[in-house]
Amino acid sequence: MSKPKLGVFKFASCDGCQLSLLDCEDELLDVAGAIHIANFLEASREVVEGPYQLSLVEGSVTTPHDAERIREVRRESEFLVTIGACATAGGIQALRNWADVEEYTEYVYAHPEYISTLDRSTPIKNHVQVDFELRGCPISKRQLLETVNAFLNGRRPNVPGYSVCVECKRRGNVCVMVAHGTPCLGPVTQAGCGDHGALCPSYNRGCYGCFGPMESPNMTSLEQWWRSLGVPERDIVNALRASFNGYAEPFREASDAIAK
């Protein structure tokens, strides 16, 4: 029986999430034994045409060409998984979504007249149907392998939807917010970072939300906590917006409501 074909596609992104797949040094041969890596330009120039049984999509949509290309990728893919903060939330490039993109373009490019770009950076799910989202900046290689394994075995990936706080409790961390008054986004951020979870609080610093929103985050409670620590409204808005996941729905809605 032929192996299912895997395609890995890049949109506006830094390539870090694709590298997580190449970073699976010990497991990569097993992955290659179970699945045909048919289209992965970061790893090989050889491209086997679709359709692909599994497609991993990194990056956000920022140009009219991207908006067209993601529809082609969707047509060629039986199961489409978005990987990383850019693909699931718009990425750090979504900072433009609260600004004037033409002004930004003039700051960055010597010849902005050659730049063709959209005024918003948007996640892949805003353009096509997505079968599963893997969060993180970058994604966790453990969760990536679990997702590929789940796909091969016809089951749903076992990826937690709970918060970083749960991992803090498991690790026996002293809460930086309760004990030290350090603002932390852990209560609303999805678990999964590092080898053992709760990476930043384990080193006595607050979480800044690189894994994006958990399932059903209580943003109101988080805001109240931060206010009780004396964090100014403007800083709450900036903490929610100026990150890789600022345009993810719960973070965006909360920061827009405060900034109104």
Residues that bind ligand SF4 (CB under 6 A): 164-165, 168, 173, 175-177, 184, 186-187, 189, 193, 198-201, 207-211
Residue 46, token pair as written in the block:
């050889």
Of 50, 51, 212, 81, the C-alpha closest to 145 is 81
- The distance of closest approach from Cβ of residue 175 to ligand SF4 in the complex, given in angstroms and rounded to an integer, is 3
14 vs 35 by CB, closer to ligand SF4: 14
Neighbours of 64 (CB within 10 A): 11
Minimal CB distance residue for ligand SF4? 186
Q: Which is nearer to ligand SF4, 6 or 176 (CB)?
A: 176
CB of 66 to ligand SF4, least distance (A): 26
CB of 217 to ligand SF4, least distance (A): 12
> Residue 238 CB, nearest distance to ligand SF4 (Å)?
15
206 residue type, one letter = G
The distance of closest approach from Cβ of residue 86 to ligand SF4 in the complex, given in angstroms and rounded to an integer, is: 15
Q: Alpha-carbon distance 209 to 129, whole Å? A: 25
CB of 204 to ligand SF4, least distance (A): 9
Q: Which is closer to ligand SF4, CB of 79 or CB of 208? A: 208
C-beta closer to ligand SF4: residue 145 or 184? 184
Task: Indicate the residue among 40 and 247 with the shorter CB distance to ligand SF4.
Answer: 247
**166 neighbors 174 (Cβ within 8 angstroms):** no
Whichever of 127 and 135 has its CB closer to ligand SF4, that residue is 135
Is residue 88 a contact partner of residue 125, using CB atoms and an 8 Å limit?
yes
Q: In the chain, where does DSSP find H-type helix? A: 16-22, 25-34, 64-76, 84-89, 101-108, 141-152, 164-171, 176-180, 199-202, 219-228, 233-241, 249-259
If DSSP codes are grouped into helix, strand and coil, which group holds residue 163? strand
